[in-house]
Amino acid sequence: MKLPPVEYEAPTTVADAIDLLAEHLDEASVLAGGQSLIPLLALRLARPAVLIDINGIDELSGVSAADGWVAIGAMTREYMAEESEVIAGAVPLLAAALPFIGHEAIRNRGTIGGSLAHADPAAELPAVARALDAEFVVRGPSGERVIPAAQWFEGYLTTSRRPDELLVEVRFPAAGPGTGVSFQEVARRHGDFAIVGLAVSLALSGGVISDARLALAGVSYVPVRAAAAEDLLVGEKPSAELFDEAARRATDDIDPPADLHGSSDYRKTVAATVVRRGLRAAMDNAARGSN
Amino acid sequence: MAVTPPGITLRVNGATRTGSPEARKTLADFLRDDLDLTGTHVGCEHGVCGACTVIVDGRAVRSCLMLAVQAAGHDVTTIEGLAPDGGLGTLQQAMWDSHSFQCGFCTPGFVMQATALLTDHPDAGEEQIREALSGNICRCTGYQSIIDGVLLAAERNRER
């Protein structure tokens, strides 16, 4: 369908964007890459009175590394992140997840901040942010707040960003030595919405798992950390039996939504499978890195 | 600002064009309705089918997922801009020779997406081609003939 009539603002600074957000609050939608918002408009699932287009705000785009963190401007397009050597080197889990997002033409417009602010629980970047404990920097009329990923995702397509705040930057911790990562996804067709996705990062020290981070996509209204599986894994030597048990614990407490792509039980079974696959792949990845 | 922002100026197929689209008008509809460039096809209108793919600043994008006003100051290439002399380019000829398409609805989207691929990777292999075209839907061919056409174009690029 054609988009409904809507007012349009195109600020060129963050300060102007915040002024506009403060003026229009819930009546406004922030337009970044538009790869989720424009379909929502076309399908009448979103009906903002005003679009605040932030594509003209140059300061929101870019990738930089400092003090063990990689900061990504909210308007950084997904293809730019895919091509970033800083991200490939320091945030390998993000680099592994990016090619799973939609298709090339989508990643040419879609942005890191847009996907994370849209907060689709089946999407790739929310799972990565949750697994790595990314930090969300939002700016509003009263200044800046830094929100940890655990508090960012509040519900289906809902974040803790206030209506007068703009997501300006997302920070990911740089991976330490001995880290192995994997992004796994089961979808009807590569590039389609995931039935279940998994972001996993393991750190190995002296043959023992010293850090384990797993976040599942598509199994709830928010991306879900598999804390029980992480607790099991840390301090253990990797083995097939251990990974089987981790898959069981990761999926014990989840109650995935059912839709035409899969029942709740099917998603649960697939989730256990991707956890096993992901742990094996992350181990292999860590082994390659240490050679 | 209102529902109709101030007019825009952009480059389309090498020429400077102007217009005053409503904010809600997609680039696809602007190209078709305002500039009469109806080679860009509109299928699903929500970013799923790839039929409306055009090239903006050298990168393939879905023109139904971009507002016309967002194209202000940018460089757009549509299917009409690929072979300005009225003939066929290497890719188009290879797709013709491979009987790549049937009904033709998806054709401009596939050709633009494949053009973007071959511009960056003139001798792309099958896996790369399949990945690049994975976001475009064709309901006639079963895709093999389309892949064959792009492979033939890549082969001809190598022979040059």
B131-147 confidence digits (pLDDT tens): 999 999 999 999 999 99
Q: What's the pLDDT score for residue B83?
A: 86
Q: Is the pLDDT of residue B84 over 80?
A: no
Average pLDDT over residues A235-246: 97
Residue at token pair 């691929």: B117
Sheet holding A50-53, edge to edge: A7-9, A50-53, A28-31
Q: Is the pLDDT of residue B5 over 90?
A: no
Task: Answer for the pair B50, B135: CB distance below 8 angstroms, yes or no.
Answer: yes
Using alpha carbons, select from A18, A26, A65, A62 the residue that is nearest to residue A46. A26
Average pLDDT over residues B15-24: 97
Task: Answer for the pair A172, A134: CB distance below 8 angstroms, yes or no.
Answer: yes
The model carries a pTM of 0.95
Note the pLDDT tens digit of each residue in B116-126.
999 999 999 99
DSSP state letters, A246-262: HHHHHHHT--PPPBTTB
Q: What's the pLDDT score for residue A291?
A: 47
Partner B contacted by A39 (CB < 8 A): yes
pLDDT > 90: percent of chain A: 93
Q: Is the pLDDT of residue A76 over 50?
A: yes
Mean pLDDT of chain B: 95
Task: Give the residue from chain B lying closest to A56, CA to CA.
Answer: B70
**CA-based nearest distance B152→chain A, Å:** 22
Using alpha carbons, select from A96, A98, A282, A89 the residue that is nearest to residue A203. A282
User: What b/e readout covers A25-60, taking b as 16+ CB neighbours within 10 angstroms?
Assistant: eeebbbbbbbbbbbbbbbeeebebebbbbbbbbeeb
- Torsion angle in degrees (nearest 10) through CA of B69, B73, B79, B82: 180
Using alpha carbons, select from A164, A172, A223, A167 the residue that is nearest to residue A32. A167
Q: What's the pLDDT score for residue A288?
A: 81
The C-alpha atoms of residue B57 and residue B50 are separated, in whole angstroms, by: 18
Cα distances (Å, whole numbers) of residue A182 to A5, A127, A268: 43, 12, 19
- Using pLDDT thresholds of 50, 70 and 90, give the confidence band for residue B1: low
Partner B contacted by A102 (CB < 8 A): yes
H/E stretch holding A273: helix A264-290
Q: Is the pLDDT of residue B6 over 90?
A: no
Of A7, A10, A105, the CB nearest to B53: A105
Partner B contacted by A35 (CB < 8 A): yes
For residue A4, give the amino acid letter.
P
Q: Is the pLDDT of residue A56 over 70?
A: yes
